[in-house]
Every structure is written in structure tokens, then in C-alpha cells.
Amino acid sequence: MGRTNPTYRDALRAIEERWAEFRRALRRRDQPRFDQLFEYARDHADASGLLNHQNPLLPALLSIDLEQEARLDDHEERLEELEAAVATSDDQEAAPSDSDP
């Protein structure tokens, strides 16, 4: 029987293990952020595995970038909603009411 080729998820796990010492050296507040980056990479592991890149770190980094772009889009959308709500509130306060002399 032939050997089974390692999957991209196996390669990603190996990368995470190689970075374990770096993670331990991070401040405690940054460790969950570090873990989240690898979660982003795992979320795109199927697409990264199809790429079959020589350096598995590059698809992981692009996966992280994609997720952070999505988060930025969400924040920008939320900011636009809040700005619109504030503008509407300001317009209502500036409009004269019937009870004003």
C-alpha cells in the first residue's frame, strides 16, 4: 500500500505547531487573537487545499486576509448605518415643531 499524502489541514496544523512558541511568548490578551487567525485559515482550508501550493503558509495568509476584509466590510456597513441614524436624529431635532412660537 502507498502512503497517504498529508492534507492541507495537516499542513496547517503543522504550521500552527511550529508557531506555538511564538504564541506562548505573546501577551495573554493577544493569544486569542493569534488563535483566531488560525481559525480563519481553517475556515478556508478546503479552497487552500485545492490550490496545492508549495508553501502552505501563503494560502493561510490569504485566507486570513479574506476574513479580515469581510470584517472590515461589516464594520464599514455598521458605521454607515450608525451615521445614517445619527443624521436622521439630528434632522428631527433641527426641524421646528408645531409647538414652537
Per-residue model confidence (pLDDT) at position 1? 58
* pLDDT at 38 exceeding the cut of 60: yes
Identity of the highest mean pLDDT range in 1-5, 50-54, 76-80, 83-87? 76-80
More confident site: 96 or 89: 89
C-alpha cell at 19: 508557531
Q: Does the pTM of the predicted model rise above 0.85?
A: no
Distance CA 89, CA 31 (A): 40
Domain range annotation of the chain: 8-92
Per-residue model confidence (pLDDT) at position 94? 80
Instruction: State whether residue 29 is helix, strand or coil.
Output: coil
Tell me the pLDDT tens digit for each residue of 68-93: 999 999 999 999 999 999 999 888 88
First-residue to last-residue Cα distance in the chain: 93
